[in-house]
Amino acid sequence: MLRKILLRMLQILLILLVIVAVGGYLYMRSDRFGVNASGERLARMQKAPNYKNGAFENLEFTPDLAEGVTYPMVLKDFFFAKKVRNTPSSPLPVVRTDLKNLPLDSNLYVWFGHSSYYLQLDQKKILVDPVFSEYASPVRISVKAFPLSYSYSADDFPEIDILVITHDHWDHLDYNTFQSIKDKVKHIVTGLGVGAHLEKWGFPSDKITELYWGEKANINGFSFTSTPARHFSGRTFSRNTTLWTSFVLQSNTKKIFIGGDSGYGKHFKNIGDQYGPFDYAILENGQYNKMWKYIHMMPEEVIQASLDLQAKHAIPVHSSKFPLAHHAWDEPLIRVSQAAEKQNFPIIIPKMGEVVSLDNYQQYPHWWKRIE
């Protein structure tokens, strides 16, 4: 009798494993995962100097993990390390701004948490890496957004002249957000290969500009130049099948560095020497760990990168929305502010949703204080 029970349990377990495997396979074939490049797009990618064996490479040697770190160590830290305040205990303050009625004659910046932000320059409207979903993961039970006093959605936005996508990671290119906002977007600028996802999701190919590092395009009166970043890409287990990139954005009145995600490296100084100085450098600051220090900057490196870029002001992003690392939720803001103060470097960290004038620099109070 016991043997029959064990055999029956084993049968049930095997059936469940098959169901999970088949379900996972079918789910990963859904539209939200995107599609690999083919045809002329793939041929163009294959001509890129750092595209080898079906994948892009960084300019510098960039291992996924730091020296002496193994994936079992990362998994142990992820599942068993004590998480200290990596999620705020109360909703973070968000200013509810009427984005549709901002004065067109003003150059503005509005941050929505993590790496999503809005720029208004020379009467044009630019949106960068919008993610307004509750999760930054294909699995809707992990990486849940922090509680916020207000959550922006596509309905809050006017028509967007240019949408900028720095790379195809889920916390920068969200399928649900894209589907909700794509009808408001006139043109998209992104890295080489990412357009395959966007076309599959119903965006017109003639309204997509894909750039490789060093390439330049003039769009709606703005100059966009793709510049290197030290990171990786991928929406599935296949990595680096699209290009991750930063951008030099030049308007008639401002020059802005759109950093995307990047570990610290010599590319910042090279970009500063070639394209600087910049009025503003918008750089990632958050979701870091010494175990993966080559693909995400530490807060102190954000200020050094700003100096390398010859930027007049730093705007740190990539924090305050998703717990993708184990540091305290406010640690990126505390550390980068302290680093800026030590270097006497102008830094801008507004509340989410708060309107920042790009014509008149001002210091913002440390809104994260007194929030546990």
Summarize pLDDT for 79-101 with one digit per residue, the tens: 777 778 999 999 999 999 999 99
**Residue 281 confidence (pLDDT) above 90:** yes
Q: What is the pLDDT of residue 38?
A: 97
Q: How far apart are the first and last CA of the chain?
A: 56
Q: What is the pLDDT of residue 30?
A: 81
Interval 213-219 mean pLDDT:
98
Interval 330-344 mean pLDDT:
98
Percent of the chain at pLDDT > 90 equals 84
Question: How high does pLDDT run on average in the chain?
Answer: 93
Q: What is the pLDDT of residue 237?
A: 86
**Residue 57 confidence (pLDDT) above 60:** yes
For residue 322, being part of any structural domain is answered with yes
Percent of the chain at pLDDT > 70 equals 92
d(CA 135, CA 156): 19
For residue 11, being part of any structural domain is answered with no
For residue 168, being part of any structural domain is answered with yes
For residue 76, being part of any structural domain is answered with no
pLDDT in tens, 249-280: 999 999 999 999 999 999 999 999 999 999 99
CATH number, domain of 105, equals 3.60.15.10
pLDDT in tens, 284-309: 999 999 999 999 999 999 999 999 99
For residue 344, being part of any structural domain is answered with yes
d(CA 207, CA 139): 30
**Residue 368 confidence (pLDDT) above 80:** yes
Q: List the Cα angle 217/318/28 in 5-degree steps.
A: 80
Domain count, the chain: 1
DSSP 8-state class, residue 349: -
Q: What is the largest CA-CA distance in the chain?
A: 82
Structure tokens at 170: 């889920």
For residue 3, being part of any structural domain is answered with no
Residue 203 structural domain = 99-357
What stretches of the chain show up as alpha helix (H) in DSSP? 2-28, 39-46, 71-80, 175-181, 195-200, 267-275, 299-308, 331-343
pLDDT in tens, 147-188: 999 999 999 999 999 999 999 999 999 999 999 999 999 999
Interval 105-121 mean pLDDT:
98
Q: What is the pLDDT of residue 3?
A: 59
For residue 121, being part of any structural domain is answered with yes
For residue 202, being part of any structural domain is answered with yes
d(CA 372, CA 369): 8
Q: What is the pLDDT of residue 147?
A: 96
